[in-house]
């Protein structure tokens, strides 16, 4: 604690866009909005979208995306959780919005993109709680039939085919939901989660991996990842906390929990590559149905930054095949 009248000091600084002061004050720069606005919004005439409140007490919104089609076939649901190190991000950021438009169009699915409370104002497990609230909202919509009023006309939604897709910190959220809900997601009935896709999941640990010790990425450094953990984990927690490291020394055992099938995807040149690869391997060794796919030479979030690239298009095909194969099991 500083002396009376002493000016607070900057305790953490994320690129000048977010600062945590020594007295607990959080300063967020408005220039982050200027940066994101430089990314052009895609124009998908085949996808409709609208916003909705899903948690009034915390004023949390989500964005719904529905493909325009004359087909009468029901469409699945993809729940997308954005990235940002638990400290940044929103459904309205152009690169997340554009990716969701692409998901809806390419996968022919209703995409639900919830916001969640951000750290350090709201440290973990706030984001996990908000993610659960979003799925609870989806269940309530399915039960009440209010989903029929989301958009006029178009195909009906099949709540028996729901998939959770998480990008970076959203991938960590997807992990949490997979083990929180377990196989069958009974408490969400009639919503049934069939599978989880983790894109470059944001996990951590005190012991460095080989990829973390490698060169920095164009848009990501190890120092920034460490700052995200210090800002988002409960105060005083290390990167071995179970919310950062699913296999840390104090993390709960996962062997006894049955989960739905999972797909983990990482870029071959991203700092978090080995975290995702190790996560998939350890889950498979524990009897879980997990596939791991690596995109050679790609960095973290390549699908957001270069949505029209060959790698991004291949990613969409892989996700679509995963959804189809999981559905064929039932």
Neighbours of 281 (CB within 10 A): 13
Return the structure tokens found at 40.
């052009």
Residue pair 69/155 in contact by the 8 Å Cβ criterion: yes
Catalytic residue among 90, 168, 211, 232: 168
Return the structure tokens found at 64.
């719904």
Alpha carbon distance 120, 117 (integer Å): 9
Alpha carbon distance 174, 163 (integer Å): 10
The residues that bridge with 65 in the sheet, in sequence order, are 49, 111
Task: Count Cα atoms within 13 angstroms, Cβ side, for 101.
Answer: 20
Q: Residue 108 catalytic?
A: no
In order, the DSSP letters of 89-113 are: --TTSHHHHHHHHHHHHHHT-EEEE
Q: Residue 52 catalytic?
A: no
Q: Residue 270 catalytic?
A: yes
Tokens 């709201």 belong to which residue? 122
Going by C-beta distance under 8 Å and a sequence separation of 6 or more, which residues neighbour residue 124?
Answer: 86, 232, 233, 234, 243
Residue pair 158/295 in contact by the 8 Å Cβ criterion: no
Catalytic residue among 132, 212, 270, 298: 270
Let me know how long the chain is: 330
Report the catalytic residues.
168, 270, 300
């Amino acid at each position: 604690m500083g002396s009376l009248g002493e000016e607070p000091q900057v305790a953490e600084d994320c690129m000048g866009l977010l600062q945590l002061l020594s007295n607990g004050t959080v300063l967020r720069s408005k220039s982050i909005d200027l940066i994101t606005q430089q990314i052009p919004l895609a124009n998908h005439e085949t996808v409709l979208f609208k916003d909705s409140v899903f948690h009034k007490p915390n004023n949390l919104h989500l964005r719904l995306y529905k493909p325009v089609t004359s087909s009468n076939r029901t469409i699945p649901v993809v729940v997308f959780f954005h990235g940002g190190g638990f400290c940044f991000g929103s459904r309205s950021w152009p690169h997340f919005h554009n990716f969701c438009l692409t998901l809806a169009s390419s996968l022919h699915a209703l995409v639900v993109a919830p916001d969640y409370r951000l750290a350090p104002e709201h440290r973990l497990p706030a984001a996990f709680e908000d993610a659960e609230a979003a799925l609870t909202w989806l269940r309530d919509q399915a039960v009440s039939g209010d989903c029929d009023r989301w958009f006029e006309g178009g195909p009906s939604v099949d709540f028996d085919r729901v998939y959770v897709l998480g990008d970076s910190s959203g991938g960590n959220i997807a992990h949490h939901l997979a083990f929180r809900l377990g196989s069958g997601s009974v408490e969400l009935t009639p919503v049934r989660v069939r599978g989880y896709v983790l894109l470059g999941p944001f996990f951590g640990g005190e012991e460095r991996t080989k990829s973390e010790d490698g060169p920095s990425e164009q848009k990501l450094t190890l120092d920034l990842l460490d700052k995200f953990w210090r800002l988002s984990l409960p105060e005083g927690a290390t990167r071995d906390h179970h919310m950062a490291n699913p296999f840390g020394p104090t993390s709960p055992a996962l062997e006894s929990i049955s989960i739905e099938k999972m797909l983990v995807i990482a870029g071959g040149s991203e700092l978090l590559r080995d975290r995702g690869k190790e996560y998939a391997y350890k889950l498979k060794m524990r009897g879980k149905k997990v596939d791991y796919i690596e995109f050679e030479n790609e960095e973290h979030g390549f699908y957001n930054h270069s949505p029209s690239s060959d790698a991004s298009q291949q990613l969409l095909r892989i996700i679509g095949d995963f959804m189809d194969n999981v559905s064929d099991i039932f």
